[in-house]
Amino acid sequence: MVHQVVLGLGANLGDAESSLNLAIDMIQAHERVDVVACSSFYRTSPVGGPDQPDFYNAIIKISTELSPEQVLQLARDIETRFNRVREQHWGPRTMDVDVIAYDDLISSEPELTLPHPRAHERAFVLVPWLEVDASASLATKGPIADLMRGVTEQGIHKVEQGL
C-alpha cells in the first residue's frame, strides 16, 4: 500500500541551503520513496532554544510503501549523515528531518507522535506545506489554511525554489 507522508526539513549550521538540497536528493534516492512535491525554501527565526542562526526550512511530500517506523528511521539516517548532534533541545543543527504527517494516522507512540505535536503552531511547517498542497489538512487540527491564522506573527521569508 502506498502512503502519503509529509516531511519537514530544517538546518541552520553550515551551508543550510545546500544541505536541504542534498537531504532532498538522499530521500529521493531511496528505492521505496518518491518525492511528490517540494516547497520553496524558507528562512525562519529559531523558535525557542538558545541564541542561534536563522533556520532554512522546506516541506516535502513523499509517496512510499515504508511503514511510519521505517520513515522515521530514514529521517534519522539522513540526520546522521549530516552529523546531527542532539545536545540541546531546540538547539542549532546541521539537519533536522521531522515526520509531520503519515496519511491521516494518529499515533502517540513515544518514538513517533503523529501528526507532529507542534506542526499546527509552526509557520515554518504550515507555510511551505500550504504551498505544495493548498487543500492539506492536519489530522486532529483541521485545514492548514485555517491553522495559518494562528502563526501570522512568526517571521518567515521565502528564499529559493525547491526541486
Active site residue 54: no
User: Within 13 A of 162's CA, how many CA atoms are on the CB side?
Assistant: 29
Query: What is the model's pLDDT at position 87?
Result: 66
Between 68-81 and 16-29, two packed helices, what is the crossing angle to 10 degrees?
Answer: 140
Catalytic residue among 54, 84, 103, 133: 84
Q: Are 42 and 54 in contact (CB under 8 A)?
A: no
Asked if residue 143 has a cis previous peptide bond (ω within 30° of 0), the answer is no
Kindly name the residue from 32, 51, 76, 98 that is annotated as catalytic. Answer: 98
Active-site hit among 76, 77, 86, 96? 96
Give, for all 163 residues of the chain, the pLDDT tens digit.
Answer: 999 999 999 999 989 999 999 999 999 999 999 999 999 999 998 877 667 889 999 999 999 999 999 999 999 999 999 986 666 656 688 899 999 999 999 999 989 999 999 999 999 999 999 999 999 999 989 999 999 888 876 789 999 654 4
Q: Clarify whether 43 is annotated catalytic.
A: no
Instruction: Write down the pLDDT at residue 139.
Output: 92
The CATH architecture of the domain made up of 3-160 is 2-Layer Sandwich (3.30)
pTM across the whole model: 0.92
Do residues 10 and 124 make contact, with C-beta atoms less than 8 angstroms apart? yes
Domain residue extents for the chain? 3-160
Place of cell 540526520: 79
Q: What is the pLDDT of residue 162?
A: 46
Q: What pLDDT, in 10s, does the model give residues 38-61?
A: 999 999 988 776 678 899 999 999
- State phi, psi for 57 to the nearest 5 degrees: -130, 155
CA dihedral (25, 112, 10, 15) in degrees, to 10, reads -60
Predicted pLDDT at 73? 97
Is position 76 annotated as part of the catalytic site?
A: no
Query: Considering 25, 32, 76, 93, which one is annotated as catalytic?
Result: 93
Q: Are 83 and 50 in contact, with CB atoms under 8 Å apart?
A: no
